[in-house]
Amino acid sequence: MNLEDYLGMFLEESEENMALLNNQLLALENNPDDPAIIQEIFRAAHTLKGMAATMGFQHMAELTHAMENALDWIRQGRARVDAQWMDTLFASMDALSHTLQGIAQEGQEHPIPPDIFNRLKQLISSPSEPRPNTLSSIEKQSPPAADDSSSSAMQPVLLYDHWQELYDTYQEAIIQDALKQGLSVYRIEIELDRRTLLKAARAYIVYQTISDMGEIVQAQPSIDDLEAERFDFNFVITVLTEKTIEAVQTELSRISEVAQVHVYPLVIERKEMIEPLTQHSAASTSVDFPSVQPSDHGKDMAKEGSVQSVAPSAAHRTHHVKTLRVDADRLETLMNLFSELVIDRGRLHLLAEELAAPQLREVVERMSRTTSDMQDLILSIRMVSVETVLNRFPRMVRDTLRELGKKVDFVIEGAETELDRTVVDELGDPLMHLIRNALDHGLEKPEDRLKSQKPETGKLRLSAYRSGHHVYIEVQDDGAGIDAEKVRLKAIQRGLLSEDKAARMSDQDVYQVLFLPGFSTRETVSELSGRGVGLDVVKTKIESLGGRISIHSKRGSGTLFRIQLPLSLSILTAMLFKVGEETYALPLGDILEAVTLPVQEIKTVGKQPAFNLRGRILPLVDGRRFLGIEPKADEASHLTVLVLRNGEARLGLIIDRILSQQEIVLKGLGHYLKHIRGFSGATILGDGRVALVIDTRSFFEKKQGWSYLEEVEVHV
């Protein structure tokens, strides 16, 4: 069995399970006692472990195993979930994610910092209440470390049984000696700020500081590795010192870019010798904690503090839909063959009419109904729910909110809405940008919100719904809204708008300026959203998917981004028309109208043919000439002109005649024709022939020395 063949599947399934885990962890955060959630988490971790082990990924298997052990405690009720648990579990998820990345990019796991394992171990080192009789032999008794924010807990210690395995014999001897002499031995866990640029330098400073306080016994990773930056953001240093814990803690916390410092004193005592330290820092979700509601399913279940009975919540949560993984190429082939079938069906229908054979007609009609159903079904196979892409946001929002210190209710609606698979895959980045924008720029800090008479906790809504032939995705916040004046000023400054134009534009129009490249209203470069490079990139991406994006905003009330996407990427409503003897297609959305133009009304501006459309002079493009077809033999008195648009630009395209308006299946031209420009693809007509679908933009670009006019305002 060649494991490499399964790598793709492994990665996909692992990612799915991790997304599930992350969401369940978030749910757990809000419902620490819900056994159904715990069960789900346990199951997902277990699955991950199994897959990793089968594929031979040791690190991943070990980590998930450690997580399983920890989670098992919760499952058995031997510990309660608190902030430290959540932090550790999330950190484990991050480590897993990092390792998975290594597998995806390099085919190899990234090593996992030993610290994570230590943290996980520490979680299961004490029960929440004294149960000395039920302790198993492997159980350790030292209590979990206190969370930074809770100050009242007794100082946690590491018992011998616990710390002994963390050091080698030599180090152990040194520690024992030191303790006997009355010195303190501290195991210091440092977590650097994620934004630290020179980690090695920072780590060195920390190392030096600790070194000044006493004698360092051990550094994990080693000082060499620290200097070579072979570590993530965490490291552990063990030191012998006379200083107090508070002194050490304070000294180290003062060092910039140090996010967290945990100091654990080592003691000689073993577990049998002392009473269990029962002080367990209360499940203090610190005041700043944002409440995050990952999905609608969770809503009914979210009751603070109550223990749910397993049956109903389990039924809700594990909606086991039977699924099958299908090779995308096979599906494509299936669809191609099927469209051929549809064409032949059309032909049969015609034949049945011609031959006037009623029996044949009946059979063909039945066949039509069956093939119609099949057609809908096949198209729907490519549809996946947007849930897969929306799922990654709750976690990201939670982390971001913590960083920003803002309070926001994050709600996702309509995750079950379906879209073509390729579109869903591409949505992640633009949505992430919009969400970050909302969190960073849109939503105000709690203090500011209160000042504006708004509730402290803001709202961020991500919703998806289907309407007609489109799917809409909205990102809405109740933040500060967009300051149109500021945008105007910036636009003028950047030379994007003239003062005159800016003054005349409505606020709604002004918002469109935000989509122009190189625009940013933020003075300082925000870490999260970068230099405001977001919105124009978002717009381009959405448009490349055949969609549109619009902004609606009200100063003080909030902002709404609405993305409109076609239901299916490859189905396009088009206009079929003839130029010469050849049939072409254009997306209907790019055609404003069709006009019949009397030949005598063709004007010439410079050398450019043009015509007057209700007071506006538009350039005229001769379709035949453009496509390299011989000019018409006879002189017509009237021309059929399609008025095309590209953004704000307009022009008229002279064609021979309009054939029809219909939905077509857009097919790619393939690799060999990759470099052919001017066509977005091709479609297969009812008679089996191929018609090229023209890329509207090509008419608007300079071609063969023609130049297109800037539009001239003409008052008629």
Closest CA to 82 of 285, 313, 338: 285
CA distances, 313 to each of 72, 388, 391 (Å): 20, 21, 19
Question: Hey, how many other C-beta atoms are within 10 angstroms of the C-beta on 350?
Answer: 13
Task: Note the maximum CA span of the chain.
Answer: 112
Instruction: Show contacts of 242-246: CB within 8 Å, 24+ apart.
Output: 242/183, 242/184, 242/214, 243/184, 243/213, 243/214, 244/184, 245/155, 245/184, 245/186
Strands 383-385 and 418-420: antiparallel
68 included as an active-site residue: yes
CB of 72 to other proteins, least distance (A): 43
Decide: is 691 part of the binding site for other proteins (CB under 8 A): yes
Among 3, 274, 328, 503, binds other proteins (CB under 8 A): 328
CB of 201 to other proteins, least distance (A): 39
Residues 177-236 that bind other proteins (CB under 8 A): none
Measured CA to CA, the distance from residue 643 to residue 631 in angstroms comes to: 20
Query: Which is nearer to other proteins, 187 or 541 (by Cβ)?
Result: 541
**Number of chain residues interacting with other proteins (CB under 8 A):** 37
Do 661 and 573 touch, CB atoms closer than 8 A? yes
Query: Which is nearer to other proteins, 273 or 690 (by Cβ)?
Result: 690
Among 335, 505, 565, 618, binds other proteins (CB under 8 A): 335
* Residue labelled with tokens 């599930």: 20
Measured CA to CA, the distance from residue 398 to residue 86 in angstroms comes to: 12
Decide: is 672 part of the binding site for other proteins (CB under 8 A): yes
Q: Where do the DSSP E strands lie in 178-255?
A: 184-192, 214-220, 234-241
Q: Is the dihedral of CA 419, 423, 425, 427 positive or negative?
A: negative
Residues 560-579 that bind other proteins (CB under 8 A): 569
Query: Which is nearer to other proteins, 340 or 399 (by Cβ)?
Result: 340
Decide: is 325 part of the binding site for other proteins (CB under 8 A): no
Decide: is 690 part of the binding site for other proteins (CB under 8 A): yes
Strands 383-385 and 408-413: unpaired
Q: State in Å, rounded, how far the first CA of the chain is from the last one.
A: 78
- Site string (620-649) toward other proteins, x via CB under 8 A: ------xxx---------------------
CB of 115 to other proteins, least distance (A): 41
Query: Which is nearer to other proteins, 157 or 335 (by Cβ)?
Result: 335
437 included as an active-site residue: yes
Query: Which is nearer to other proteins, 502 or 682 (by Cβ)?
Result: 682
Do 663 and 585 touch, CB atoms closer than 8 A? no
Do 441 and 529 touch, CB atoms closer than 8 A? yes
Q: Which amino acid is at 225?
A: D
> Using CB under 8 A, which of the segments 202-210, 261-269, 449-457, 673-681 binds other proteins?
673-681
Measured CA to CA, the distance from residue 712 to residue 716 in angstroms comes to: 12
Decide: is 677 part of the binding site for other proteins (CB under 8 A): yes
CB of 544 to other proteins, least distance (A): 7
Burial 217-230 (b: 16+ CB within 10 A, else e): bbbbbebeebeeee
Tokens for 55, please give them: 């594929």
Question: 521, exposed or middle or buried, with CB in 10 Å at 0-12, 13-18, 19+?
Answer: middle
Query: Which is nearer to other proteins, 247 or 676 (by Cβ)?
Result: 676
In the set 13, 16, 62, 68, the catalytic residue is 68
Tokens for 165, please give them: 């395995």
Query: Which is nearer to other proteins, 275 or 329 (by Cβ)?
Result: 329
CB of 579 to other proteins, least distance (A): 10
CB of 583 to other proteins, least distance (A): 8
629: DSSP letter: -
> Using CB under 8 A, which of the segments 42-50, 163-171, 474-482, 674-682 binds other proteins?
674-682
Decide: is 667 part of the binding site for other proteins (CB under 8 A): yes
Tokens for 160, please give them: 């011998």
Decide: is 327 part of the binding site for other proteins (CB under 8 A): no
In the set 15, 16, 46, 98, the catalytic residue is 46
Do 73 and 15 touch, CB atoms closer than 8 A? no
In the set 17, 437, 444, 474, the catalytic residue is 437
Query: Which is nearer to other proteins, 459 or 703 (by Cβ)?
Result: 703
CB of 679 to other proteins, least distance (A): 8
Query: Which is nearer to other proteins, 614 or 675 (by Cβ)?
Result: 675
Measured CA to CA, the distance from residue 403 to residue 285 in angstroms comes to: 16
- Site string (535-564) toward other proteins, x via CB under 8 A: ---------x--------------------
Decide: is 337 part of the binding site for other proteins (CB under 8 A): yes
Decide: is 697 part of the binding site for other proteins (CB under 8 A): no
- Site string (83-122) toward other proteins, x via CB under 8 A: ----------------------------------------
> Using CB under 8 A, which of the segments 210-218, 325-333, 402-410, 613-621 binds other proteins?
325-333
The C-alpha torsion from 79 through 81 and 82 to 84, rounded to 10°, is 80
* Residue labelled with tokens 């969770």: 298
> Using CB under 8 A, which of the segments 55-63, 143-151, 633-641, 684-692 binds other proteins?
684-692
Measured CA to CA, the distance from residue 353 to residue 691 in angstroms comes to: 26
Catalytic residue numbers, as ranges: 46, 68, 437
Interface ranges with other proteins (CB under 8 A): 328-329, 332, 335-340, 422, 544, 569, 582, 626-628, 667-679, 681-682, 684, 688-692
